[in-house]
């Protein structure tokens, strides 16, 4: 089959322009068709209302006494809430960064920062430490008020965390993560 070419007088051929247009138009219609078919499948992967309801957890911390801890569930993970004693806060503040294995605070409430005790808590509420209670080595659940630094200890593989949840000894590569949280009032903590 022969291709017909026309010349516009300047030496440029325009024989393929109609075919090019048909290819592009066909491709565009096919892309829209595939997108309209694929969208319901993609949309069904969004979390349902029950999952979205777990996006935040409200906790009454009014009964939490000094030196006491509690554990709540948030997004299927345990969250440790500890009201530290003034001694525990001071011990955590005195630890030089050079002694820490992980110097990242891992606190989304402050952005990026060094793993000082002040960066692991919220300003004005330094006594209250809130952390995701999952060991950063293999996902075990550490025991509270245990280990060489009187913080948390993971007996599965021997990771020791201090009173600010920072890894100090053992195979865990990172500090315990801190979830986003806020205090709407003095007796309520909202995680998430």
Number of domains the chain is built from: 2
For residues 156 and 87, membership in a common domain is answered with yes
For residues 42 and 59, membership in a common domain is answered with no
For residues 25 and 101, membership in a common domain is answered with no
Measured between alpha carbons, how far is 165 from 98 in angstroms, rounded to an integer? 16
Degrees (nearest 5) of the Cα angle 114, 118, 123?
130
pLDDT of residue 78: 92
Contact yes or no for 189/144 (Cβ under 8 A)? no
For residues 150 and 62, membership in a common domain is answered with yes
pLDDT of residue 76: 83
Q: Is 157 a catalytic residue?
A: yes
129-162 confidence digits (pLDDT tens): 999 989 888 888 888 888 788 888 988 888 999 9
Residue 46 predicted with pLDDT over 90? no
For residues 32 and 105, membership in a common domain is answered with no
- Picking from 31, 46, 61, the residue at the C-terminal end of a domain is 46
56-67 confidence digits (pLDDT tens): 888 899 888 898
Residue 117 predicted with pLDDT over 90? no
pLDDT of residue 29: 93
Contact yes or no for 192/180 (Cβ under 8 A)? yes
pLDDT of residue 15: 59
For residues 30 and 67, membership in a common domain is answered with no
- Among candidates 159, 129, 132, 154, which has minimal Cα distance to 143? 154
Average pLDDT taken over every residue of the chain: 84
For residue 121, the domain's CATH number is: 2.102.10.10
Domain coverage including residue 38: 1-46
For residues 69 and 153, membership in a common domain is answered with yes
Across 69-94, average pLDDT: 90
For residues 42 and 129, membership in a common domain is answered with no
pLDDT of residue 130: 92
For residues 108 and 90, membership in a common domain is answered with yes
pLDDT of residue 28: 93
Helix (H, G, I), strand (E, B) or coil at 132: strand
pLDDT of residue 7: 55
For residues 88 and 142, membership in a common domain is answered with yes
> Does the predicted TM-score (pTM) go above 0.75?
no
Select which of 14, 137, 157, 160 is catalytic.
Answer: 157
pLDDT of residue 12: 54
Residue 80 predicted with pLDDT over 90? yes
For residues 5 and 58, membership in a common domain is answered with no
Helix (H, G, I), strand (E, B) or coil at 48: coil
pLDDT of residue 54: 64
pLDDT of residue 8: 54
For residues 120 and 59, membership in a common domain is answered with yes
pLDDT of residue 140: 84
pLDDT of residue 52: 62
pLDDT of residue 51: 65
């Amino acid at each position: 089959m022969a291709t017909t070419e026309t010349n516009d007088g300047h030496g440029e051929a325009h024989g393929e322009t109609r075919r090019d247009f048909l290819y592009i138009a066909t491709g565009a219609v096919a892309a829209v068709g595939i997108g309209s078919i694929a969208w319901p499948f993609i949309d069904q992967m969004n979390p349902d209302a029950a999952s979205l309801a777990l996006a935040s957890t409200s906790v009454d911390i009014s009964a939490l006494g000094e030196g006491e801890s509690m554990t709540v569930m948030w997004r299927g993970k345990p969250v440790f809430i500890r009201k530290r004693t003034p001694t525990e806060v001071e011990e955590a503040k005195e630890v030089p960064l050079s002694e820490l294995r992980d110097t990242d605070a891992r606190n989304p409430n402050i952005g990026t920062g060094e793993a000082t005790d002040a960066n692991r808590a919220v300003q004005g509420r330094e006594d209250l430490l809130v952390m995701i209670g999952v060991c950063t080595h293999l996902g075990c659940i550490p025991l509270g008020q245990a280990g060489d630094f009187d913080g948390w200890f993971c007996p599965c593989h021997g990771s020791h965390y201090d009173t600010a949840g920072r890894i100090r000894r053992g195979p865990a590569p990172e500090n315990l993560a801190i979830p986003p949280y806020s205090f709407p009032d003095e007796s309520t903590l909202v995680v998430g």
